[in-house]
A and B are shown apart, each in its own frame.
Chain A
Amino acid sequence: MEKLFVSVKKELLLLRRDKTGLLLLFFMPAFLVLIITLIQDDLLNTDIRILFLDMDKGRIGEKMEDLLERSGNVILVKEIEGTTLTIDETKREVADGTFQFGLVIPEELTVALEKKCRAEIKAELSPEKTGKKTIDQVIPKIQIFFDPTVQGGYKTAIQNIVAGVSQRIELELKMQLFFQMLPDRLLSSFPQEMASYLPEKEEILSYDRLFEYHESFIEIDETSVTNMGFIKTPSAVQQNIPAWTIFGIFFIVVPLSASLIKERESGTMMKLKSMPVSHVTILLGKILAYICVSFGQYTVILGVGKFILPLFGITPFSIGPQIMTFHLILLSTICSAAGYGIMLGTVLKTHEQATVFGPVSIVIAAAIGGIMVPVYAMPGYVQPFSLLSPLFWAQNAFHDIILRGGDLSSVYPEVLCLFVFTAINLIVARIYILKGS
């Protein structure tokens, strides 16, 4: 027992004196949590600035401006430093990257659209019902300029907003024209003797209030649902703390594997093997030391979530009622990271290999495991690979506990997978050690 204790103490002493390693292990994940949570929280509340050039000067341009501004996510910029925009300036500003989006409502759009709608309605209302629905009227196109650096999600969001607003304008115009043209059609289709019984044309036309702006009658109610019972509204902090804690924990792989390789290279491992102490004690000493380190990492990150982020107006992180289960997941995550570190330290030959392969493999496992981008947002062919990432198992288990209201019964498969992953790594390491002797 004393041999194990002195091994743990030695590892902790070595770590304490490795300032860069400490920075990597403690500061980096805490900083990541802070920055990423702040950015993501801000993203949700940030309006998108769009250069807006209305060359139509008709009702469509006005309506488009009005509806986009009412959409709540968009700020329209119509002039720069007091100068009205031109199409070339709009393009240039976007090309320079000063603005990410430019929206141009072309000349004569209102006139052309009205003509086309009128012709279409007229054809529809005609007693002959010609059936000719395609009217040869060219509609000038609305142009959206994108900065090439704009990512797909934002591009789609802007396209959807503009497309939605355009459809609404077109529908409103069609309806208004329909109500304008309908009375003539009605009056012309009744026999002359019934004319006195019909309402006045002006009465038929008095439906303008229908087309005034109002919120949609159909409301959308957003609720997070789960089979386990809802407890916590998903937020950037609830999602980021577990994700980046897992990421930080897995980074113990770097110093852990490097320490094993260093011991091998310096001859200390050979010396230890010649001493009356089992290899298991030496490795267990390392694992226990890094378990302490990882609990320290978690405490720092938890501190950021509970005390630092609220200073920026963000809701504090909450573990929820399943504290024991939460810590069991944490322990299984730490063990799997330690096991992986031991395996790499045994299998890899040089310090350089460990410092390159270790972090790269973790970043890949984090990427496919949904730490950086949610798994559901990944391409379909990548998603099955997520199931292979221990970081995914850990994150899924944490989410079950803190977002979906799960308990031990809902997370035991993931916890089991993490412990099995640990065991497999240690077995591989053991095989290599025996092979080496």
Chain B
Amino acid sequence: MDVVEAIFSAKNLSLTYKGALTPSLDQVNLDIMKGELFGLIGPNGAGKTTLISLSATLLKPSSGSLEICGEDICTQAGRIRKLTGLVPQEPALYLSLTGRENLRYYGTLYGIEKNRLNKEIDRHLKLFGLSAKANQRVETYSGGMKRRINLLAGILHRPRLLFLDEPTVGIDAQSRNMIMENLQILNKKGVTIIYTTHYMEEIEKLCKRIAVIDKGRIIAQGNPGRLVAQSSGCKNLSDLFFALTGKRLRD
């Protein structure tokens, strides 16, 4: 019997921003297994981006621990950065550089050897339907194209764990579909993915396991279908989401 190891393991993880009265993450306990495509959902300000930022070693916890690929984020940030990829909410791209130049820059910073990098760039550009515009400046791209290049910049180095922070916000159905298809392919190739989004149908389609986070706490986790079935009066994930987090605005 195969023992599936946790690639992401949070134990009593808490973070309170300086000057804040309440914690943004409060005693989070969460294990994500190697090879999972894990969904993280929650209303605005629930703590999703904070959890992603901690995982990407951008922040340090106030208390508790977080191990990624078996390494502690506080002491082994450098090693973790080589093994993970971050696709931030807003496309983190240089608009006056071309798509190819952006990828070459990020790829080199990930330490990919030049020849391999060029091959990987060509392959991924083709896979994501961006070859034709690869040598044009990103500022001329549509929203969907920017999102796709943004995603490519996070996966070129073949990370073991990929963090995706709402990667499909504000793009057309075609681009969204392409991104989701490619994420499934990537996941099948063994990349563990932690995916945050506000689109419940994306979670239902992609993820076998999810966590619902609100006010910095994990309030539910498990298989989306089973979570819906266990909650009376809920027909789908959206119903469950509102049942758990309420309908009050969270801006």
Contact = CB atoms under 8 A, between A and B. Distances in A.
B198 interface: no
A77 to B, nearest CB: 57
Could you say which of B57, B60, B105 has the most chain A C-beta atoms within 10 Å of its C-beta?
A: B105
A270 B105 CA distance: 15
Interface stretch (B23-31, B78-86, B179-187, B221-229): B78-86
Given A17-B96, A18-B96, A268-B93, A274 B57 contact: yes
Interface in A244-272: 266-268, 270-272
A153 B104 CA distance: 59
Given A14-B96, A268-B94, A276 B59 contact: no
The secondary-structure label for the interface of chain A is helix
A275 B110 CA distance: 7
Contact of A271 (B60, B82, B92, B95): B92
Contacts of A6: 104-105, 108-109
A276 B111 contact: yes
Contacts of B67: none
Nearest to A272: B109
A267 B101 contact: no
B89 interface: yes
Contacts of A275: 81, 106, 109-110
A103 to B, nearest CB: 60
Contact of B90 (A2, A10, A267, A277): A267
A274 B56 contact: yes
A7 B109 CA distance: 8
A329 to B, nearest CB: 33
The secondary-structure label for the interface of chain B is loop
Given A10-B94, A13-B97, A437-B60, A271 B108 contact: no
B190 interface: no
A270 B88 contact: yes
Nearest to B111: A276
Contacts, number: 68
A277 B96 CA distance: 22
A10 B58 contact: no
A70 B250 CA distance: 86
Could you say which of A10, A275, A277 has the most chain B C-beta atoms within 10 Å of its C-beta?
A: A275
Nearest to A17: B96
Contacts of B94: 10, 14, 268
A267 B109 contact: no
B145 interface: no
Interface in B143-199: 153
A276 B110 contact: yes
Contacts of A274: 56-58, 81, 84, 86
B179 to A, nearest CB: 17
A168 interface: no
A217 B82 CA distance: 85
Interface string B39-52: 00000000000000
Contact of A2 (B86, B88, B106, B108): B108
Nearest to A18: B96
A271 B58 CA distance: 9
A273 interface: yes
Contacts of A272: 109
B78 A276 contact: yes
Contacts of A3: 108-109, 111
Nearest to A435: B18
Nearest to B55: A274
Nearest to A282: B109
A18 B96 CA distance: 8
16 contacts: A2-B108, A6-B108, A7-B109, A10-B97, A10-B105, A13-B97, A14-B96, A17-B96, A267-B89, A268-B92, A270-B58, A271-B153, A273-B57, A276-B78, A276-B82, A437-B60
Given A266-B90, A275-B109, A276-B111, 13 more contacts: A2-B108, A10-B97, A10-B101, A13-B97, A266-B93, A268-B94, A270-B53, A271-B92, A271-B106, A274-B58, A275-B81, A437-B58, A437-B60
Give 6 nearest A-B pairs by CB, closest first: A271-B92, A274-B56, A6-B108, A276-B81, A274-B86, A17-B96
